Structure formats: C-alpha cells, structure tokens
Structure 1
C-alpha cells in the first residue's frame, strides 16, 4: 500500500477499443492538481461545460484538473494519462534557474502536437516508461526518480517552445505586468526582494503594482510574496530532510529564529511543530497549506 505522500502521482495507460471511454476522472490530490495526457494514436476530448477540445495524436496535453472537466478517449485511441499533485509538481520543478519558466508553464493549459517533433515524443515517452517502472516497483527513492522524470518532461516541453505557444494563444489578454511580477517572484523568492525592488524591475510605481495585484487577485504584492514564501517553506518542511537551519538559509532568512518567527506569524505554529504534526496520523495537509500556485493568474 502506498503512503499518502507517495500517491501524489498516478499514471494509467488507456486503450479505448471499440468504444469511447472516460479516463482519469477518479484520481485527485489535495491542492492544485494537473493532468498530463499523451495521445499516442486516435484522439481524446477535453470536455468542459462551456467548451470542447479535441486532442489528435500524437500529441501531449497539459492542464489543471478540475471537477467540471472530463477527458474522453475516443474509440480506437490509446495513450497515457498522468495526474500530478502539487507536492510532486513543486519538487519536480525544483529551484534551478529555469524553475520560474517551468512553474509558469506548468500552471497553464496547452496542447502540443508531436507529429513534427519526434525527438520530444521520444523523450516524453521514455519519461513515462520510467515513471511506470517506478510505480510498479515501489522501491526506496521512488518519489525522487519520478520527480526527476517529470522535470525532464517539463524541460523537454519548454525547449519545444510551449511557453511561446501559450503566450501567442492565451497570454495576450492577460495583464503582462502581473505575469512579469509572478515571474520575478519565482526567480528571486530566496533573495527576499522588497516590493519596491520588484516595482523598479517592472518599471512601474509601487502604488501601481499594489493596485494591479489588489484589483486582480484581491491581495497586495507583499501578501502575495509572503504567501508564496510560506508555501515554499511548508513544502521544504514536509518533503525534504533539511534541518530548520538549512531551510532558513535556503529561503534567505538572516537566522533560524527570524525564519521561525515568520513561519509562526503566517501559519500559527513554529516550523518544528508544523513538521512534527505532519507526521501524525490523520493530519490534513490540504487544511494546513497556506495557499496554492493557483492563487496566481
């Protein structure tokens, strides 16, 4: 039996045979959940209350999983569907220089045709093969290997130009200042920039940035930064073996006591107590989380 932390990723092969079939609908995780669908042949439908998208294979489709969206594999089609929880996705993205771009990309919905991208198709297929082997073997370090494969997959899609494709298709109507602010927060989270530094980089007045964030998200920029930092701290406390000193240093705090004071002010308990409580039976991770990447646009 897999533990709750090990079940933040689920992958299935689907083969529709002579009939259409719905896939991936019974799998969900606390927090933000995404689905990655690779249609190898035939086609699948992404069905929403107000729209319908046809995914014609070979193609890979990525997007947030929601209760009002269903995936139907058409008769004669086959492929893979993977559901990824927020914890696994965050660990897979990591903290390398490209993490900000990967995080932005992973928060969007996109479909990439693979007919003219055989190298990308080969790379993604190899990642899925490795993930299936790990899920079947259930050996020590399974999560680490799976997260590494998801990171390879994301980097492959990033190199294939998904970010540029998303910008052409759906970002045109988005608030570019807010989008750039999020990108800067992700890239400089551990440098602890004040709001005026972000405003300077964005070439806007701090009051203008405050107005954009408040009108669009209902939160001022400082609150968004603190929420994002708190979420990162929670993820490290829950899913890493780093000490409090190491986490404090990693997140850019001057001392462990400063980090503890910040965490207690945001979450209500010191970080050590939070980590100990997370190991107790019946602990509700979703209820304890400070926020989600989905809080951003």
Structure 2
C-alpha cells in the first residue's frame, strides 16, 4: 500500500498531549518514540504499513508484521524498533487527549476498556479498517503541521474514529481476559461511570449502587489501589475538567458552572479555589499569559486511575 504520509515531516503537537512520528524505509533498524512522554498515564499506537516492528520487553519480544496496528499503555521498560525497510507511524498520546477523544457517548465505557489494554490487530484482511485508520493519521498530521485554532478538537475526533473502527473490528472480543482482577474491573467501571455522569454530580453511594458493591467496598478498592477514596477521585476529575474548560474554551464562568452541574457560579468558584488554590477567573487569566508557569496551581491528572 502506498504510504500516504510521505508528504509530512515528524511533528509534535504544540498544545495537545499528542506526538505523531513517521518511520520510513531505510537501510538500518531504527528505535522509535523513546524520548516522547507525557505526565500521567500514556498510550502508544503503532501502525505498521509495511515491513515489521518489534516491541522489546525485558523478558519478551513481540513482532508486528504490517499491515497491522498495535495499541497499548506506553511502558518505560518497552522499546519499539522498526526493521530496516519498514514504513508506518508511531503515535504517543497523554490520558487527557485520550479521554477527550473517547468522550461521553454510550460507547465511551467500551472504548475506555478497550483502550486501556494492549492488543495487536492484523489489517491484511481488513482493507476498510486500514483505509479509515490511515485517513485519520493523514488528518492528524495535517493538523499538527498547521497548528491552527481547534487543532486539539480535530485530532481528538480522528482518534475517536480510529478507536470506534477498532471496536467494530472486534478488538474487544480479541482482548478478553478472564484473569483480569475483579477489583481492577470495578475501578475501570467506576471511572467510566464518573465520565458518563460527571455533570450530574452523583454521590458515592449512587456509583456504588450502579456497580453492585457497597460504598464501603468501593472506598476500600479505591483507597487500597490508588491511595484515594472515591469522593477524592470524583473531585479530582471534576477539577481536571474545569481546568480544561477554562484553558481551552471560550465559555463564561456562568456557562462552565452550569455545564459542570453546579447550582451557581459562586458555588463553582468556591469549589475551584478550594481544589486549585486560585479562583477560576485568575486561573484562566494566568493560563493565557505567555510564559506563565501554572504548575503551582495544577492538580494531578486523573490519569492516575487504573
């Protein structure tokens, strides 16, 4: 298959947590993506159009023969090597970008479960899926190259199309693992419910009822696994969403407060200041000033979830 990315140079996103890089035919093997990482949990997607690539772990090695796509969490213990003569793309994305791409539609829970696992899908007999994925990467490279307003939104939309295509291709059934711990599955389901009902401001006991566990059991699972009770995880996620809206949208504080389910703007402002240390208006103003360091008022991403 023709390499449709041949006209684009490797470019990293300037504002979004995405890095996409080409690898092309060469005389030597080449290591990929080693210097790219983002805070919190990071995912990596490798599309091999032709040739082969290797995922080298301390005690094992996986060969990806093109055309194929590999998806999974990015691990510091895993190195990616493209064989000489191979062509493809490697994309690294942070959890914020992935979560925005997944969104809050009914299929979001399924996409989140799928994207949290490692899998390789051979595309030799799936030309339609391969065509969709290559078109998505083409659009992503164009956005990264142009760097225009709304770049993040377009890139996230392309990632969502890719994930839905992989879901339709049967990836979920392929990666079923009955040995997956029940506690981990409960945490993933809890996270999906938080994503779907964040703006409805569910109390912890409502989440527990939906998960068919007691509030004490949910508290125990979250605290033992993540070191945080469920209420703290919910507040962290709400704060993260508020920060993203303040930094990336043009909505007023009244609109953001209403969007996030607060009864009033003062209630939202009090919540935000308690979590972040500054009022939302001051946070927005500082985040738009070139050279301003917002580290002191940022909270951790909810990428610490399972």
Task: Flag whether TM exceeds 0.5 (same fold).
Answer: yes
Structure-2 change in CA distance of 1:46 and 1:143 (3 Å): same
In 1, the alpha carbon distance for the partners of 2:211 and 2:122 equals 34
Unaligned ranges ≥5, structure 1: none
In 2, the alpha carbon distance for the partners of 1:257 and 1:72 equals 53
Measure how far apart 1:128 and its partner are.
0.9
For the residue of structure 2 that corresponds to 1:45, the secondary structure is strand
For the residue of structure 2 that corresponds to 1:19, the secondary structure is coil
Residue 6 in structure 1 maps to residue 15 in structure 2: yes
In 2, the alpha carbon distance for the partners of 1:170 and 1:285 equals 42
Measure how far apart 1:261 and its partner are.
1.2
Measure how far apart 1:40 and its partner are.
1.0
In 1, the alpha carbon distance for the partners of 2:296 and 2:40 equals 9
Aligned to 1:162, which of 155, 171, 190?
Answer: 171
Measure how far apart 1:7 and its partner are.
5.4
In 2, the alpha carbon distance for the partners of 1:131 and 1:37 equals 14
Measure how far apart 1:173 and its partner are.
6.5
Partner of residue 209, structure 1: 218
Partner of residue 111, structure 2: 102
Measure how far apart 1:222 and its partner are.
1.0
Partner of residue 58, structure 1: 67
For the residue of structure 2 that corresponds to 1:130, the secondary structure is helix
Partner of residue 178, structure 1: 187
Indicate conservation of the 8 Å contact 1:12/1:80, yes or no.
yes
Deviates more, 1:260-269 or 1:51-60: 51-60
Structure-2 change in CA distance of 1:30 and 1:210 (3 Å): closer
Measure how far apart 1:93 and its partner are.
2.7
Structure-2 change in CA distance of 1:139 and 1:186 (3 Å): closer
Residue 280 in structure 1 maps to residue 289 in structure 2: yes
Residue 92 in structure 1 maps to residue 101 in structure 2: yes
Task: Please list the CA deviations of residues 93-147 of structure 1 after superposition, one character each: whole Å capped at 9, or x if unmatched.
Answer: 3333333333343333322221232221110011111222233334444333222
Indicate conservation of the 8 Å contact 1:31/1:86, yes or no.
yes
Structure-2 change in CA distance of 1:290 and 1:49 (3 Å): farther
Deviates more, 1:100-109 or 1:127-136: 100-109
Structure-2 change in CA distance of 1:241 and 1:25 (3 Å): same
Structure-2 change in CA distance of 1:158 and 1:241 (3 Å): farther
In 2, the alpha carbon distance for the partners of 1:274 and 1:242 equals 14
Partner of residue 148, structure 1: 157
For the residue of structure 2 that corresponds to 1:76, the secondary structure is coil
In 2, the alpha carbon distance for the partners of 1:136 and 1:42 equals 26
Indicate conservation of the 8 Å contact 1:107/1:294, yes or no.
no
In 2, the alpha carbon distance for the partners of 1:4 and 1:112 equals 26
Indicate conservation of the 8 Å contact 1:43/1:77, yes or no.
yes
Residue 189 in structure 1 maps to residue 194 in structure 2: no
Partner of residue 8, structure 2: none
Using the size of structure 1 for normalisation, the TM-score is 0.88
Partner of residue 199, structure 1: 208
In 1, the alpha carbon distance for the partners of 2:211 and 2:299 equals 26
Indicate conservation of the 8 Å contact 2:104/2:195, yes or no.
no
In 2, the alpha carbon distance for the partners of 1:100 and 1:266 equals 27
In 2, the alpha carbon distance for the partners of 1:274 and 1:48 equals 42
Structure-2 change in CA distance of 1:238 and 1:98 (3 Å): farther
Partner of residue 126, structure 2: 117
For the residue of structure 2 that corresponds to 1:215, the secondary structure is helix
Task: Please list the CA deviations of residues 157-212 of structure 1 after superposition, one character each: whole Å capped at 9, or x if unmatched.
Answer: 22223333333377357633223222222221111111111111122211111111
For the residue of structure 2 that corresponds to 1:188, the secondary structure is helix
Measure how far apart 1:217 and its partner are.
1.4
Partner of residue 223, structure 1: 232
Task: Please list the CA deviations of residues 33-54 of structure 1 after superposition, one character each: whole Å capped at 9, or x if unmatched.
Answer: 3221101122111223344322
Partner of residue 44, structure 2: 35
